[in-house]
Chains A and B, each alone.
Chain A
Amino acid sequence: MNTKTSDTLLLIVFSIAVLAGPVILAPFGAGYPDLLQKFAIYGIFAIGFNILFGLTGYLSFGHAAFLGVGSYAAVWMFKLLSMNIIPAVIFSVIVAGLFSLVIGFISLRRSGIYFSILTLAFAQMCYNLAYSVLTPITNGETGLQITLSDPRILDAAAEGQAPASNLFGLDMISTWETSLAGMTLQFNMGFYVCALILILSFWISMRLFRSPFGMMLKAVKSNQNRMSYTGLDTKPYTLAAFVISGMFAGLAGGLLAAMDPLAGAERMQWTASGEVVLMTILGGAGTLLGPVLGAGLIKYFENIFSAINDSTLHGVFAFLPDGLNNAVSAVLGLFVGEGWHLTLGLIFMLIVTFLPGGLIEGAQRIGRLFTSRSKADPQSGEAQSRPAPAE
């Protein structure tokens, strides 16, 4: 199968899986709109981050700043222009793009750890400014919210309560519920908007990966010295990758605000920047699908594992004698609820140690176990001795 056919197939399978998200994830307790939206939005964030980190190897520790800037930009559009999400999302991408152009231009004067530190410093600066000096724009600690008295020059005056964000009249919060085999399935408008944009982002990233530009970005990661002696200016390539990934982050931030019209400075904190790094590495940096899987896994743990508490555990192990039940619940209790970070940390350690290529490498190894038995011709032997290209 050539690259083009397999890419088309991958895109189709990906789209179906994303669109069927509410059905597929319902049995895992993750089929509710709020979490589904987060899966899609952080998937977009990670896809964008991967264009910079996965292809060029430049590790930015400040990408949450662009996410936060995108959120603020979107909320301001909601306040001033309209509750329609289209101008809000477009504006957030533009503003994040401008921010990343400036920050990238300065930070890319250095590489390696110094680049990471510079981006981290810029992001922390944005975070602190949002909390203090820029309060007129960001509303400081309270966070930026929409109110009834906002101008919203394109919308008709709202009454009663602040209006909901919408797409030409379709409210993001509207949800259609049905039940299947005892589970409640929730099909939410907001999720489907995010899902379509996620599929679009995935397609864009696929085009970039397979283009001459994508190959140049891989060359940046591989050998910058050879690149300049080959007649290529590395700076605009890295800057373009930085701005593109910053715009994806802005898009994700804008969508967060579109789903729930508020923006706070905590979105820009360094832990949020670190999270997208974890997502990308966990799923497989430099692979197409990995970052989306990593984002899903982390958001799943954050929302599902953290919700499990002592009484849930006692309930699960009720069949054990009381003493044993208490003991087992006490031990497992360390890993759930507040302790979900511990579980995530352990999984991260295991993956980085045994599967440096992330979840995707794990999937490929499993896949190879099956294919190497069915296909024994010499051709496939040569193909398999190659390290797998970015999928």
Chain B
Amino acid sequence: MTPILEVQSVNKRFGGLKALDDVNLTVMEGTVHAIIGPNGAGKSTLLNCFVGRLVPDTGTVTFAGQSLIGKKPHEINQAGVSRVFQTPEIFEDLTVLENVMIPALAQRDGAFRLHGWHPLSREAEIRDKAERALADVAMADRRNMPSGSLSRGDKRRLEMAMCLVQEPRLLLLDEPTAGMARADTNATIDLLKRIGSERNITKVVIEHDMHVVFSLADRISVLAQGHVIVEDAPENIKGNAKVQEAYLGGAHL
């Protein structure tokens, strides 16, 4: 296995608060890597450093051999990194199918293309691709609905289809099951497992729900006060004393 995402000595300060304190992290290609930690540990800050929303004060973030520091979000996406947000971010004014066609076009045509003269209806290939992605998340029957009227769970699945249609090398998921009922959570776990096995997409998951983390992750990094205190396989994390101390206040899992 080769490393696909490497984070080396990343620091990030917000005024007096040290949000990330010398973070080191290596994600191997094709694995599911979970980042867990108590509230305010710096999980989201770290994720935002991967996608170009934040720039680390010092340190390097390398994706598939190229540095992500200073790159804009759209450039990082074009390099092969897609992101699912904590609250689904979709194009609510457009239909479900259009929502998936946009990322498919972005992948084919790049960050900007002035293709204003030929009709969208002639983009049969893009349409088919988008419909396959929708079928993957079991939403093909809703393709013509306005996406703003979907339920929250469906918006989440749509957002995943929007990421998957781009065939990313790395998929970042920020609490993909936040606010979901148990049944939906399990469905999401199954979906994420299925996507992983079929397409060899590397996934980095930030998650609070331990059930999700231990069902999905191949490897877990535990973040506390901006620092990675442990990185190990799930079975070793459960019994780790440092983790229980920092994350769970000493209680047993």
Contact = CB atoms under 8 A, between A and B. Distances in A.
Contacts of B144: 382, 386
B111 A233 contact: yes
A223 B90 contact: yes
A271 interface: no
Task: Sort chain A's interface into a size bin.
Answer: 20 to 34
B103 A222 contact: no
Contact of A232 (B90, B106, B116, B120): B106
A385 B178 CA distance: 30
B14 interface: no
A3 B121 CA distance: 9
Contacts, number: 112
Nearest to B92: A222
B149 to A, nearest CB: 9
Given A210-B119, A387-B146, A230 B112 contact: no
A86 to B, nearest CB: 23
A237 B111 CA distance: 10
Interface stretch (B71-79, B189-197, B213-221, B224-232): B71-79
Interface string A182-211: 000000000000000000000000011011
A212 B123 contact: yes
B105 interface: yes
Contact of A386 (B89, B116, B120, B146): B146
Interface residues of B, number: 42
A228 B74 contact: yes
A231 B91 contact: no
Contacts of B85: 229
Interface of B: 51, 72-74, 77-78, 82-83, 85, 89-95, 98, 101-103, 105-107, 109-121, 123, 144-146, 162, 166
Given A212-B109, A222-B93, A228-B77, 15 more contacts: A3-B121, A212-B105, A212-B115, A212-B120, A215-B98, A215-B105, A228-B73, A228-B74, A229-B51, A230-B162, A231-B103, A231-B111, A232-B102, A233-B111, A387-B146
Interface of A: 2-4, 207-208, 210-216, 218-219, 221-223, 225-233, 236-237, 240, 382, 386-387
